[in-house]
A = this chain, B = another copy of it.
Amino acid sequence: MTAAVRHDDLRRRNRALVIAAIRRAGQPSRTDIARTTGLSHSTISAISADLIAEGVLAQAKGAEASSLKRGRPQIAIGINPEAAAILTVVLSLNSLSASLIDYSGNLVAEDHRRFSTLTASRANLMAETAAAVRRLLNHRGLAGRPVLRIVMAVQGITDSRSRALLWSPITMHSDIPFADALEEVAGIPVTIENDCSMIAMSLRWRNPERYRDDFIAILLSHGIGMGLMLKGSLFSGTHSSGGEFGHMIHQPEGALCRCGRRGCVEAYAGNYAIWRNARTGDENAPPAADISDADMASLAAEARRRDGPERRAFEKAGRALGYGLGNLFALIDPAPVCFVGHGASAFDLIEPSLRAAIAQTAGGQHSDSITFDTETNEMPLIREGCAVRALTFVDQEIFAPGNPAQQRLYGEMIA
């Protein structure tokens, strides 16, 4: 039983629809919007007039690429970049990077620092993050725009309400309430998300042809992460952020994993596992703390050069990933997969054994037709995913609010 549909929901939802259509199309005319949304011209006219009056949208004045066609020229209409701004924060191993982004999605300012996340105290981690946020909030490029939302991405497990970092490989501390801490600093809503989920958001935004309703983003890095889009919405578990693909058990009582358990996919396919298999051959050796991309690249080069333990290690990684994906496909059916991160640059070494393993599983019945994509640099994807998520929040909650209190808040902030 779905919730009751009130009368005013109609306007709210259609406003959100119009904003989303414009965000996707860039600079559409009213006629374009009517076509993509399916709403009538009159409705589009009314809604866009309201949104322009509120400063959310702006008409592109002059400078039209001319029409060359007869008839009244179309008036391009776009997101008003002055309407608001949002902030993204990406915390990763020994690196903190924050960005200020205007309401139309353009980068206004960046702030990047390196510091040792592994040795930092809880308070230190929160303080560094808060300081980065504070610096950007005071940035003069803001020019009076209200900053309405912060989305932070971290590697690790967050709680389902996106308030705290429950566990992460970048620090030994757990249950760090980043959202509360940053809300206190900024006075606006903050959520903290899993980095791979943000990668999935970004893939969907960049290439909705390929990544629409169901697809999988897998981060190949020191550990293995996953972002899962199911039926058009980001899948995260009910309690935590879920999607712990890297810690599905590939081999009961198998190789020692960084998480302390045995036989996880990550214990075969994470950088440390590949390194360990290639260099020591001992699956029970304690995982190395960090392995540079350069080291991994030379390992891959060696594996390509000759048939030896290096090549074997990448094959094992492919096998573990293949069985893991096969098990996932047994549950959710095959879907497009994108391998992201520096590890994806060695995908040629991984792919044969990965495909062979998938073919052994229930999900691998059409394993030939499964396509894989790679994207070796994850950072831009993570940031873009955060931006997309934050802007969508603002679109829906502030500019098409179900609850008048939220819009009142915006009124106060721009006053």
**For the complex, is A138 an interface residue (Cβ under 8 Å from B)?**
no
Contact among B14, B17, B252, B319 for A323, CB-based, below 8 A: B252
A14 touches B10 (CB 8 A): no
**For the complex, is A285 an interface residue (Cβ under 8 Å from B)?**
no
A244 touches B331 (CB 8 A): yes
A330 touches B247 (CB 8 A): yes
> With the chains together, A86 CA to B404 CA distance in Å?
45
A291 CB to nearest chain B CB (Å): 22
B13 touches A2 (CB 8 A): yes
- Interface residue count on the A side (C-beta < 8 Å): 58
Contact among B24, B235, B248, B327 for A362, CB-based, below 8 A: B248
| Shortest Cβ distance from A326 into B: residue | B249
**For the complex, is A5 an interface residue (Cβ under 8 Å from B)?**
yes
A333 touches B238 (CB 8 A): yes
> With the chains together, A239 CA to B24 CA distance in Å?
28
**For the complex, is A108 an interface residue (Cβ under 8 Å from B)?**
no
Pick from A242, A330, A357, A361 the residue with the most CB of B within 10 Å. A330
**For the complex, is A37 an interface residue (Cβ under 8 Å from B)?**
yes
Residues of B within 8 A of A326 (CB): 249
**For the complex, is A106 an interface residue (Cβ under 8 Å from B)?**
no
> With the chains together, A238 CA to B336 CA distance in Å?
12
A244 touches B4 (CB 8 A): no
> 3 closest Cβ contacts across the A-B interface?
A237-B333, A247-B362, A4-B38
A-B contact pairs, 6 of them (CB 8 A): A1-B24, A4-B37, A237-B331, A238-B335, A248-B331, A327-B327
